[in-house]
Chain A
Amino acid sequence: MTTPAETIQQFVDRDYKYGFVTDIESDAVPPGLSEDVIRLISAKKKEPEFMLEWRLKAYRNWLTMTEPKWPNVHYPPIDYQKIIYYSAPKPKKGLNSLDEVDPELLKTFEKLGISLQEQKRLTGVAVDAIVDSVSVATTFQKDLEKLGILFCSFSDAVQKHSELVKKYLGTVVPYNDNYYAALNSAVFSDGSFCFIPKGVRCPMELSTYFRINAANTGQFERTLIIAEEGAYVSYLEGCTAPMRDENQLHAAVVELIALDDAEIKYSTVQNWYPGDREGKGGVFNFVTKRGKCAGRNSRISWTQVETGSAITWKYPSVILQGDHSVGEFYSVALTNNFQQADTGTKMIHIGKNTRSTIISKGISAGRGQNSYRGLVKILKAADGARNYSQCDSLLIGDRCGAHTFPYIEVKNTSAQVEHEASTSKIGEDQIFYCNQRGIATQDAVSMIVNGYCKEVFRHLPMEFAVEAQKLLGVSLEGSVG
């Protein structure tokens, strides 16, 4: 039988299994940022004039902004001139089907457990795969098109559906929203675009897979999802990156728009490289995600499992503008070794009878620092608004920290806002109870942690939930001491 100490060691010794690098020829611009680089990116993507202008506006704005210092995370300063802002796997001319995708690339995705081919045949999940900055393959496009659903890379959307892009881009996260969003707006290279027309229920899960491959690159993708009246879509996002000693920056923007009676479900399993056990390397994940419930009875739900990244700075938010709209946020954030996470949500209640639910489960282990930062804001017009928040923290080991910073601002009397938080550790008695019934310590810890996260996992699509549970087991090192 293994002792708890050994169990811990076993956990510790599990390595980040997605840390390989694929040798693919890539087309990159030199490091550094200037208007010329932005023009170059825009030209490479053959973008219409309005996009370039928008990028330049964002860039000029970004120059006047300062990096936010308020998050409860600490990291060395980022040199924005050393980052490569555009890197793309060298394309082969005219991709028509998956067979023409660089086999190296396909192998990469197979290694990651995302076989695009197999996915296509078996699971019926439409996948948009993005390496470094560029979308490399999108499956099922044809089938979706029959229903009027547009699901393609952002670059394609700019080319083919520029009216839609022009109409919605930046309406939820404006180009000057915050430092990283402005940076993203200036240099974003690709991302996913998804449009569900009126009354259509998307028959399959849409999924994007993000992969950073090249060294010294930043990944700046942008996702835009629009659900028209009565539409429904469930969208999944996964991410990995190679192991590198230097930190890599990932600054994405996600915008969701739900019109009357529409529903968007957005799930993330974020597993960027978290750095090694000494806290060296890892991805800086500075992401702006926001959804707008623009229509009546619309619904946006964020589910996230955050296990990777050296630093996470991320607040998927919902603006509840339409009357009777619903916003939800379910999150599991795990920090281990030297990882730091400052994550949470914002629920802005504007419309009448709007409701929001926040369930946040933080787990800190090793020297990880985990902060929940949330805002619930009930504006004057939001009669009958309702919010329930629960944020729990689980501490594993005595060198980690858990923090909660909930902000509650209420300007309407008829609002009902409740917030609860608790912090606890895995009790010796709980472990003992399991041991006594023949469950090894390692399994007991895993069981308890999964039980603790269950409330969030049950909101994930099935395949993801399984993946998330496994991931949690891998990421969790020494549980009991």
Chain B
Amino acid sequence: MIQTEKMSPARKPVAPAPTAGQSFLAKFEEFERGRVRQSPDWLYPIRKAGIAHFAELGFPTVQNEEWRYTNIAPIAKLPFHPILERPASLPALKEIETLFIPGLKCSRMVFVDGHYAPELSAIADGIKACGLSEAWKTEARLLERHLGRYVHCEENAFVALNTAFFTDGAFIHIPANSQIEDPVHLLFVSRSSEPGSSSHPRNLVIAERGSRCRIIEHYASLPALSESKGSRSNGSDAPTLTNAVTEIVVGEDASVEHCKWQAESLSAFHIATLQVQQEGKSRVIQHSISTGAKIARIDIHLVLGGEGIESILNGLYLGGGDQLVDHHTVVDHAAPRCASHEFYNGILDGKSKGVFNGKIFVRKDAQKTDAKQTSRNLLLSDEATIDTKPQLEIFADDVKCTHGATVGQLNEEEIFYLRSRGIGAENARRMLIHAFASDVINRITLAPIREELEKLMSERLDREGV
């Protein structure tokens, strides 16, 4: 829905930084001459539009209402080195295995610096999944119909940049009335150590009418990362950028659970947009867990385009050190009788900064909408900050919409309760923080991910006495 953003206030045009713009254009021309020729004809105008929008928008500044709390100057300053070619050598499977989620029975697609590595992947029989660069040869018609049709290049510079430069990503097609039994684990590994190198993965998931699937979109860094394994210091220190765009189309009666887990190295920048287009009576559960990266900005945009849809957005962000984690969600109720429930919890320690902006739009015809949103934030240190902005825009009258936001410390009374039952102060604190995170974690249906996240929480609490 293009109108969506038009209604929100104060979208000042951002003047592109002239030098940056030019270097991007030059890079695009070079890219155009080379590899782009290999991609199909229909893709060309889409890319061209992407770079044109990027040139027009430039990198957003804090003057832009959508970016007022997130200063991406460190990203704009980086040299621009998109990784356009498949890496010559791949990491060993053994290295990659450290990033797997223990006990998770799944099909796995591994991407190294944004490029699909079939050698490291294992896809169960009967699942239509492949790299995007292959899909645009074999599934041209399907791609042409969906790719780039849902995201908004004209509004988001990073989406525009991705659209101009993407070379690969995951393509998953679930035919009508079929289901993928085990989840699909998309593992995006960044490995590059060159400052400014960027990957632009582009994913497309098409869940046709009546189908069911579960997808994990997992971003991590090599070598030695990391958040998921507990050691903070020794990730690659190169400031790299992941700029991912994922489009998910959910047909009538289809059901999709999507879990995004961002655990990149603490020197990396992670920008991602997830666009979900839902049709009537479909169900989506979307989890966004963000634990890594120096700056993470995640845009999640749901369009509820048919009657009787149910959507759940579930998010947890942990910030420590000087991390900045920013979630912008939009739930666009475009049709009547839909329900959306959104739960976002953030735990911020050190000098970290959290940003949450949740918009709910209820269109004129979307009567009987039931939309709920909560944003809860726990500040654990004196220097952590949070900026939260829940937002409702309602144009229909017969609706039930609520939102709530809280910011605070641990509840003294709850600590007292636990202590009066013989639990030490430190333990009580940990229990309560853990419980705060578990609220969100428990909504994930896949037990191995839950366990992994619980473990991560315990590790972080141990390490920092968070």
B57 on the A face (CB < 8 A): no
Q: Is A412 at the interface (CB under 8 A from chain B)? A: yes
A396 CA to B398 CA, complexed, in Å: 9
A-B residue pairs in contact (CB < 8 Å), sample of 5: A72-B7, A404-B391, A420-B404, A422-B401, A423-B392
> How many residues in B have their beta carbons less than 8 Å from beta carbons of A?
39
Q: Does B396 contact A (CB under 8 A)?
A: yes
B248–chain A nearest beta-carbon distance, Å: 28
Known: A72-B9, A403-B394. A417 touches B407 (CB 8 A): yes
Residue numbers in A under 8 Å from B407 (CB-CB) = 378, 408, 410, 415-417
User: Is the pair A401, B389 in contact by a Cβ cutoff of 8 Å?
Assistant: no
Would you call A393 an interface residue if the criterion is a C-beta within 8 Å of the partner chain's C-beta atoms? Answer: yes
Q: Which residues of B contact A17 (CB under 8 A)?
A: none
Contact A417–B379 (Cβ < 8 Å): no
The docked-state distance in angstroms from the alpha carbon of A71 to that of B8 is: 9
What is the CB-to-nearest-CB distance from B5 to chain A, in angstroms, rounded to a whole number?
13
Which residues 431-456 in B have Cβ within 8 Å of A in the complex? none
Nearest B residue (CB) for A414? B409
Q: Are A423 and B402 in contact (CB under 8 A)?
A: yes
Contacts across chains A and B counted by CB atoms under 8 Å: 118
Contacts of A413 in B (CB 8 A): 379-382, 384, 409
Interface presence of B406 (CB below 8 A) = yes
Knowing A406-B390, A409-B387, A415-B407, say if A421 contacts B397 (CB, 8 Å).
no
B403-449 contacts to A (CB < 8 Å) = 403-409
Nearest CB of A to B254, in Å = 29
Q: Contact partner of A401 among B387, B394, B405, CB < 8 A?
A: B394
Asked if B127 is an interface residue, CB under 8 A from chain A, the answer is: no
Residues of chain B within 8 A (CB-CB) of A396 are 397
Inter-chain contacts of A120 with B (CB < 8 A): none
Closest to A417 in B: B407
Looking at the complex, which one of B382, B386, B389 makes contact with A405 (CB distance below 8 Å)? B389
Name the distance in Å between B187's Cβ and chain A's nearest Cβ.
Answer: 35
Verify if A348 is at the interface (C-beta below 8 Å from B): no
A281 CB to closest chain B CB (Å) equals 25
- Structural contact, B404 and A419, CB atoms closer than 8 A: yes
Nearest A-chain residue to B10, judged by Cβ: A70
Using CB atoms, name the residue of chain B closest to A383: B382
Counting chain A CB atoms within 10 Å of each CB, which of B379, B393, B395, B407 scores highest? B407
Does B65 count as interface, using CB distance less than 8 angstroms?
yes
- Residue A92, interface by CB 8 Å: no
What chain A residues lie within 8 Å of B7 (beta carbons)?
72
Interface bits A88-113 vs B (CB < 8 Å: 1, else 0):
00000000000000000000000000
Task: Pick the residue among A69, A395, A409, A410 that contacts B394 (CB under 8 A).
Answer: A395
- Decide: A406 near B385, CB < 8 A? Known: A415-B408, A422-B402: no
B402→A420 contact, CB < 8 A: yes
Q: Does B176 contact A (CB under 8 A)?
A: no
Complex Cα gap A414–B389 (Å): 19
Chain B residues positioned under 8 Å from A424 (CB to CB): 399-400
Is the Cβ of B404 less than 8 Å from the Cβ of A417?
no
* Residue A245 is within 8 A (CB to CB) of chain B in the complex: no
**Residue B105, interface by CB 8 Å:** no
**Is B27 an interface position by the 8 A CB rule?**
no
